[in-house]
Amino acid sequence: MGWNKLVELIDVKKPVPIAIMGYPGMGNIGIQVVSYLAEKLNARLAAKIYSEYLMLSSNVAGIIIGNDGTFKLPAIEIRLVDKEPNRLFLVSSPVQPVPWGQLEVSSILFDYLKEKGVEVVFIIAGFVDRSLYNSVITFGDEEWTKKLEKLGSIRNKTIRSVIGLAGANLATAKLRGIRYVFISGVAADYLPDPKPAQNILDKLNSIMGLGIDMGDMGRKVQEFERKLRPKENLNLNLEGTKKGSMNYLG
Residue spans of the domains in the chain: they are 15-244
pLDDT for position 247: 47
CA distances to 88, 103, 211, 221, 240 from 246, rounded to whole Å, are 32, 22, 35, 26, 11
| pLDDT in the model for residue 244 | 47
Tens-digit pLDDT profile for residues 197-207: 999 999 999 99
Does the domain spanning 15-244 belong to CATH 1.20.120.160?
Answer: no
pLDDT of res. 112: 98
How far is Cα 186 from Cα 246, in angstroms, rounded to an integer? 13
What is the pLDDT, as a whole number, of residue 56?
Answer: 80
Residue 39 in contact with residue 32, Cβ under 8 Å?
no
102: nearest Cα among 166, 51, 48, 168? 168
Which of 62, 64, 49 minimizes the C-alpha distance to 3? 49
State which amino acid sits at residue 142.
E
pLDDT reported for residue 239: 46
Q: What is the pLDDT of residues 173-190, one digit of tens each?
A: 999 999 999 999 998 888
Is the pTM higher than 0.85? yes
From the CB of residue 31, how many other CB atoms can be counted at a distance below 10 Å?
Answer: 23
Which regions of the chain are under pLDDT 70?
A: 58-59, 229-250
The residues with which 223 forms a beta bridge, in sequence order, are none
